[in-house]
Structure 1
């Protein structure tokens, strides 16, 4: 317990300092996105990944807080996915490359002996889908980080309930590192998470949930995972439906995500992130209660209903789709990187 608190504190401080230090090198190297006529450096994810790996690795190396069977492999795989994301931040990579990389990494961490063949395949698909969904959340300042912190605490609570202390410590360290990064990412952000950090966040959280739910029935496991990824999945569903109805390419960016549509309703950038963060907290709380047995699986239907209601309502909100608007309101690389 004391080590977990000390590790989380150190992770928060180190991530905040490192994110601040990486801002200028990112600007000078041109690793930036454009958000509302301003240049946003993208090496914040490097700070989160580096600090998480160093602090968690120190506990593993010293034996003070060993990660446990398979969790160390999970962390290494997440770091490799983050490295692929960093390449995407610097140079252009097609989406299928990111999908293939996430799939290979997921195949290396799924505990097939506990999930079985069918469960393992579904778990692999879940990890890839959740990883890409979290990447999609990084379209406005603070959103991916806020939802990531809330989800990390929920996943950590599930891991603690399963007495998976190493995984719980890893998730608490990650949540603290992400919080340190958020000190610089709240609107107007001084540094962004980038593909590196968003892929790392999605992969680490989704893989951790697979570990905590391994051995449970598929139905309840899917329900818990849905709750903990509700906001990211709602955003992905909204974008897929909107672009499908408009016959637009899924790979072309546009101001049609959750936060963009909330802004069209008159909310400020900060208010939209707070609202989505509160929604994430509510869904995550339901997922944790279902996992621990404090409430029945029927509670998940309320979360599913809420997600569908939000998607249907926001789908009716008109969005600007001109090329000029997309270049100024949407996170789009100054260099052509990662679509």
Structure 2
């Protein structure tokens, strides 16, 4: 049995990350699978919904997405109840896949929300922190410990992980959503590592009081750090916007067995700038040859590789040593460098 949650709301005011003026917001959570995003965007294109902005996170086999749309014909937010019902029914079928639905929710409201804060809340409500990952996990998992500071009646939370943008935001949002108050904190970075310690209490002034609660805090903070982790090859699509563009691009990913682990969709005037992080179907780094084939299909000048996982560069260094075969000597490292050069990630082949 699998669970998904679908909700829809119309935003009238706001700015980037706080909702978008004159757009309808779709909230989706469910079981992640290869090609799911392609099916979602295909449904929206078929229903004449233009995707203006969107953010997609995946974690532990779950997906959460906020998609801001408008009607393709009128350019207005979607408020017609019959069309809303059609969107709900079609996306429900996509999200449930071949599995039964345990429960579903849909709301229509005028609320304005911070996009990334809302994504954390959606995944927290979906209890992604309790689920076992379906895709292969990164070896660089955050280390979280919780201990008592009895003299001051605080609970101390220590987080050690790779440093990145918005790390503090993600942790504090989660502590706040769990109804904890942060009284003091120390934050240090060394190289690419971050060391954060928070002294917290419940809203009623009491510290963490049980081992199950302690373990839940550890699970939730690990999830908060991991949700925004940039797994996979970073692809950037910058091109003229058109009806069905996202459906076409994500269908190409699906046809080449690429899984989208995170996505950011942004449209300004008639131009769209999208970021996709992709892996293979089980979470391993995508084959550079497949990435190259996808770029050729979508457009070499439109879809560019901006970031490769560290494993690609480590492989190039390991294979730098020349290998002799049948009296001929060649460098495997040079072959890897050639792939990196073709993908536009190094200046010259050397």
Classify the TM-score, shorter chain: under 0.3
More strand by share: 2
TM-score, scaled relative to structure 1: 0.26
Q: Which has the larger radius of gyration?
A: 2
Bigger relative CO (Cα 8 Å, ≥ 6 apart): 1
Q: Per residue, is there more helix in 1 or in 2? A: 1
TM score, norm. by length of structure 2:
0.26
